Amino acid sequence: MNQELMTLDFWQDTVIYEGKTFPVGTLACDALNVPADTITKMNEQCEKINLLLGMLNAGQDTSALFPMAKEAALTMLEILSKTPPFSYMDIPKHRERIERVFTADNALKYVEFAIKAVTNSLPFEEVPKYADAVMLQRYTAVCGHLAYSLEEYQKAMLDFAEQSDGNEADRTAEGFAKMFGTYFPPEFSITEGNAWMSTLNNSVQYISVIRPGEKVAKLVKRMHYVSFVGMFRSDLFEGLCVGHAPKKCKICGKWFLTTNARHTKYCGGYAPGDKLHRTCRQIGNLKGREQRELADDHPIIQIYEKRLNTINRYVKRGTLDADLAEVMKKLAKDKELRAKSDVAYAKGAYEKEMDQAALKKEASAKIYKERDKHE
């Protein structure tokens, strides 16, 4: 009954949601970015839908509420269509379903279904005729609790995300496991105070499916949830298991997902207020070039330091002439400085020219040229 609304398929380092494949952790990361004013707008619609939900669950006459509840659900869907990760849903499909199931007749059918289910008087073959009625209750419950669920998720997980953001030393699955163990120690237990950690609100099954864009079936872990807070939390933790984690962009302040151990500082979204419509990564690259060039672990510097060490080692062993070594060092320094100011050279010939044999050959030619001048 409309299970795909809150169902995830996990396989290796990916997650499938509503027929779309993402790096696992994407949904959880995007959920951290939903602005407070958007949650407030959602909540305005939630309050209207909750009136219907309360009466529906109480088995009361809800016919007078349907015009308002249906409009609220469609308005909510419009907000979601512009808000990742909800915008990844099949919006036209959900719009068609809301238009179809939000009727007073389906409300009456749901009350009938609920009574029969509770009293064990519902024959299995009758279940399909209540499909739309159950779908009405499902949409009402999800939409009615959505703002609260999202707010609870952010409240619980933003602090944890800040911890993962600061985990610069080791942004790997092992590094995040260590951080997780510190944040949630072994003696941690699920209590009323941290009910958001509960795993009772989901079910797991393993199923063979053909993933979007593929031809061969894969065995995936399919998880069904009753709330978005559970779904996002699960996606976040599954991401940590494979080394995926949220990172806060130093330019725009939004969260983005890192999927490797590289210390990425900037997201790929457009930088706010930039007239040239550059991405945060482009702006960051320009701003951070000087700092990166000064960093000891920068590839350009590492190549230079490695060559310098080799030259000194050869001189110490007596296998390289000291005068030739000094010329090689001077050439290496010049090339390092050029690489720092010339991106094309840094990405192109720099490393090749810094090879020991190539540098020695160039230095020897330079010495011979200087000698010819003086003779």
pLDDT in tens, 342-364: 778 888 899 999 999 999 999 99
pLDDT exceeds 60 at position 198: no
**The pLDDT of residue 76:** 95
DSSP 223-281: EEESSHHHHHHHHHHHHHHTT-EEEE-TTT--EEEE-SSS-----SSBPTT-TT--BHH
pLDDT exceeds 90 at position 92: yes
* Backbone dihedral region for residue 219 (phi beyond 0: left; psi -120 to 50: alpha; all else: beta): beta
Structure-model confidence comparison of residues 184 and 21, the more confident one: 21
Cα separation, 293 vs 301, whole angstroms: 7
Cα separation, 70 vs 62, whole angstroms: 12
- Position 195 confidence tier, pLDDT thresholds 50, 70, 90: very low
Residue 189's Cβ-count burial label (10 Å; 0-12, 13-18, 19+) is exposed
Is 360 in a helix, a strand, or coil?
Answer: helix
Find, among 38, 365, 14, the residue nearest to 214 by Cα. 14
Contact between 246 and 25 under an 8 Å Cβ cutoff? The reply is yes
Could you tell me how far CA 272 lies from the centroid of its own chain? 20
Residue 110's Cβ-count burial label (10 Å; 0-12, 13-18, 19+) is buried
pLDDT exceeds 60 at position 161: yes
**The pLDDT of residue 271:** 85
**The pLDDT of residue 193:** 46
Residue linked to tokens 């696992």: 24
Contacts of 216 (CB under 8 A, 6+ apart): 210
First to last CA, the chain: 93
Cα separation, 117 vs 127, whole angstroms: 10
DSSP 287-345: HHHHHHHH-TT-HHHHHHHHHHHHHHHHHHHTSS-HHHHHHHHHHHHHHHHHHHH-HHH
* Residue 168 vs residues 67, 117, 171, 184: alpha-carbon distances, Å: 52, 53, 6, 19
Pair of tokens at residue 124:
């299995």
Average pLDDT over every residue of 90-100: 94
pLDDT exceeds 90 at position 54: no
Average pLDDT over every residue of 133-141: 90
**The pLDDT of residue 342:** 77
pLDDT exceeds 80 at position 19: yes
pLDDT exceeds 50 at position 212: yes
**The pLDDT of residue 214:** 87
DSSP conformation class of 195: G
Q: What is the pLDDT of residues 256-304, one digit of tens each?
A: 999 887 777 888 888 888 888 888 888 887 765 555 555 555 788 889 9
**The pLDDT of residue 192:** 45
DSSP conformation class of 285: H
Structure-model confidence comparison of residues 14 and 166, the more confident one: 14
**Most distant CA pair in the chain, distance:** 111
Find, among 116, 147, 318, the residue nearest to 229 by Cα. 147
* Residues β-bridged to residue 245: 258
* Residues β-bridged to residue 342: none
pLDDT exceeds 60 at position 191: no
Pair of tokens at residue 201:
């609100």
pLDDT exceeds 60 at position 319: yes
**The pLDDT of residue 201:** 58
Cα separation, 268 vs 277, whole angstroms: 12
* Residue 326 vs residues 97, 163, 171, 329: alpha-carbon distances, Å: 77, 47, 40, 5
Pair of tokens at residue 15:
């997650």
Average pLDDT over every residue of 14-42: 95
Average pLDDT over every residue of 35-64: 90
Q: What is the pLDDT of residues 168-190, one digit of tens each?
A: 667 888 888 888 887 776 665 55
Cα separation, 213 vs 207, whole angstroms: 18
**The pLDDT of residue 45:** 96
Cα separation, 178 vs 184, whole angstroms: 10
DSSP conformation class of 35: -
